[in-house]
Amino acid sequence: MKNLIQKYNIPGPRYTSYPTVPFWDKEGIALEDWKKTVKKSFFESNDIEGISLYIHLPFCESLCTFCACHKKITKRHEVEQPYIETVLKEWDLYCDLFEERPKIREIHLGGGTPTFFSSENLRKLINGIFKRADKFDIFDFSFEGHPNHTSEEQLQTLYDLGSRRNSFGIQDYDPKVQKAIHRVQSFEQVKKVHELSKKIGYESISHDLIFGLPFQTEESIRNTIKNTIALKPDRIAYYSYAHVPWIKGVGQRGFEDSDLPKDSEKRHLYELGKQLFFDNGYVEIGMDHFALPSDSLHKAMEAKKLHRNFMGYTAGKTELMVGLGMSSISDSWYAFAQNEKDVDDYTEKVNAGIIPIFRGHLLTDKDLIIRKHILNLMCNLETEWKIGLDAQIKKEIIERLKPIIDDGLVEVSDERVKVKEEGRMFVRNICMTFDLRLIENKPDTRIFSMTI
């Protein structure tokens, strides 16, 4: 296994989209084309499955030095209100495109730290969204909370607004690791927000952990997982630390590269975590995620209804996902578009009445086919050849898969490609054999984190 890890641990995408962001069309997407695909997707899907909303709330009070998210560090809470007003104006720009009231099936508040915002502002935001929308029959509203900055009032407010699911950033409980990543938070604090969520009635609580952080050891991970399991979250995200200092610049500092666990040590931490989750009744979902069998994510996996998008794995699929807020990415199935990454640029465009995208990609017919295969592999660990690929492309994919087949990680038949249990941790490598954009544009600089 150690040799396989060395062999396959190469830079590669996480496939929250296909094509992946670095291979979007360099020319971008014309705003009119973006609007056209949004309208088409809305028309096709609003009545049948509803739409999803991702709302990016970027502010955090202090910087965690491992963080790869789009965030803005400030303690000035005056930023909240104007930001919410801008997000609602952006929502208006989308609603003006729709011919009927949108039916929202999923809302996710991501960040940054959504619980940076006061209860009052969170209420303004969600009530503002529903001034121009209705709930779909199935409605799933979730948010990310920082345990040090989540109050009972915020939890109650979001519950009253319809949220039944939340996730808390835990990362690691070890004091030395916490100091290095500038993220000091106690087990007691996490226990408090977790138990408050239960008491209020949240149905699914998730904890985010990361392996591969500086100074982590087998013992520290065992302890972090012991604490986590003591609270029995419904879901656990066990992320591989993405060390991307060339993208995040000054953000990822406070420790040296030599403080990070080496490849095989890191993989051992993953294997250890996975075993401890299994021993405690959790089931592995796709990549990075574990859930109790009672959780909706596990039920979706059983029913082969798991979906993957920029939010990670979700239990329901919608064709249209509108991303609001700075840096958010929207997905109309036929195209992707990303909002301006700087709050001022984002605000300026919205105030001028322009949907604030700065780049995007219109999928070709070939992209749409590859997209289906990669989604199938990432969500169901198998895909069928009948999703039409031309014969030459299929032949080349099989050639690229050959070493992975020989290593016993994947099975290829006339009907399908199936990832074997032993190949689960290499699913990103398997997807890379389908990734025509990656193959055609071999990057000459480092743009992705390591696959393992």
Ligand X SMILES: C[S@@+](CC[C@H](N)C(=O)[O-])C[C@H]1O[C@@H](n2cnc3c(N)ncnc32)[C@H](O)[C@@H]1O
Query: Which segments of 133-242 does DSSP mark as H helices, in order?
Result: 152-160, 175-180, 187-200, 218-231
Out of ligand X, ligand SF4, none, what residue 241 binds, judged by CB under 5 to 8 A for its kind, is ligand X
Rounded Cα–Cα distance for residues 284 and 278 (Å): 8
Asked if 64 interacts with ligand SF4 (CB under 6 A), we say yes
Going by C-beta distance under 8 Å and a sequence separation of 6 or more, which residues neighbour residue 85? none
Q: Which of 171, 314, 327, 339 binds ligand X (CB under 6 A)?
A: 171
Contact between 387 and 372 (Cβ < 8 Å): yes
**Inter-CA distances, 119 with 116, 145, 189, 200, Å:** 9, 13, 19, 15
Backbone angles phi, psi at 95, to 5 degrees: -60, -30
Specify which residues 289 forms β-bridges with.
237, 285
111 touches ligand SF4 by CB under 6 A: yes
**Residue 91 binds which of ligand SF4, ligand X, none (CB < 5-8 A, kind-dependent):** none
Q: Which of ligand X, ligand SF4, none does residue 63 bind to, with CB < 5 to 8 Å depending on kind?
A: ligand SF4
Stated as kind and residue range, the H or E segment containing 322 is strand 321-324
Residue 261 structure tokens:
């666990």
Contact of 270 with 211, CB cutoff 8 Å: yes
Give burial (CB, 10 Å; 0-12/13-18/19+) of 264.
middle
User: Cα separations (Å) of 51 from 270, 363, 391?
Assistant: 34, 20, 35
Residue 111 near ligand X by CB under 6 A: yes
Residue 242 interacts with which of ligand X, ligand SF4, none, CB < 5 to 8 Å by class: ligand X
Selection from ligand X, ligand SF4, none that 86 binds (CB < 5 to 8 A by kind) is none
Q: Which does 381 bind (CB under 5 to 8 A by kind): ligand X, ligand SF4, none?
A: none
- Whether 452 has a binding-site annotation, put simply, is no
Q: Is 67 annotated as a binding residue?
A: yes
Rounded to an integer, what distance in angstroms lies between the CA atom of residue 108 and that of residue 164? 11
d(CA 326, CA 196): 30
Measured from the CB of residue 71, what is the shortest distance to ligand SF4 in angstroms?
Answer: 4
- In this chain, which stretch among 58-66, 152-160, 199-207, 286-294 interacts with ligand SF4, using CB under 6 A? 58-66
Return the structure tokens found at 293.
């069998």
**Is 273 marked as binding a ligand?**
no
Among 17, 37, 41, 113, interactor with ligand X by CB under 6 A: 113
Binding map of ligand X across residues 51-90, x = CB under 6 A, - = no contact:
---------x-----xxxx---------------------
Q: Which residues inside 68-87 make contact with ligand SF4, applying CB under 6 A?
A: 69, 71
Among 4, 51, 67, 322, binds ligand SF4 (CB under 6 A): 67
Give me the least distance between CB of 270 and ligand X, in Å please.
Answer: 12
CB nearer to ligand X: pick between 251 and 360: 251
Question: Parallel, antiparallel, or unpaired: how do β-strands 59-60 and 72-73 relate?
Answer: parallel
Contact of residue 140 among ligand SF4, ligand X, none (CB under 5-8 Å per partner type): none
Residue among 146, 267, 428, 437 that touches ligand X (CB under 6 A):
146
Range 14-53, binding ligand X (CB under 6 A): none
Other beta carbons less than 10 A from residue 100's beta carbon: 10
Nearest to ligand X of 119, 206 (CB atom): 206
Check binding of 343 to ligand SF4 (CB under 6 A).
no
3-state helix/strand/coil string of 376-417: HHHHHCEEECCCCCCHHHHHHHHHHHHHHHHCCCEEECCCEE
> Of 272, 236, 240, 260, whose CA–CA distance to 428 is shortest?
240
Q: Is 234 in the site for ligand X (CB under 6 A)?
A: no
Q: Which two tokens stand for residue 352?
A: 């001028």
CB nearer to ligand X: give 172 or 340. Answer: 172
The site for ligand SF4, by CB under 6 A, has a size of 11
Q: Nearer to ligand SF4 by C-beta: 316 or 325?
A: 325
Cβ 169 to ligand X shortest distance, Å: 2
Residues numbered 122-151 forming contacts with ligand SF4, rule: CB under 6 A: 146
Could you give the CA distance from residue 157 to residue 304 in angstroms, rounded to a whole number? 33
C-beta closer to ligand X: residue 72 or 222: 72
Tell which one of 51, 60, 300, 389 touches ligand SF4 (CB under 6 A): 60
CB closer to ligand SF4, 210 vs 377: 210
Can you list the positions of beta strands (E) in 86-240? Answer: 103-111, 134-145, 165-171, 204-211, 235-240
Q: Which residues are annotated as a binding site for S-adenosyl-L-methionine?
A: 54, 66-68, 111-113, 144, 171, 183, 208, 242, 329
Q: Catalog residues that contact ligand SF4 under the rule CB under 6 A.
A: 60, 63-64, 67, 69, 71, 111-113, 146, 169
Q: Catalog residues that contact ligand X under the rule CB under 6 A.
A: 60, 66-69, 110-113, 144, 146, 169, 171, 208, 210, 239, 241-242
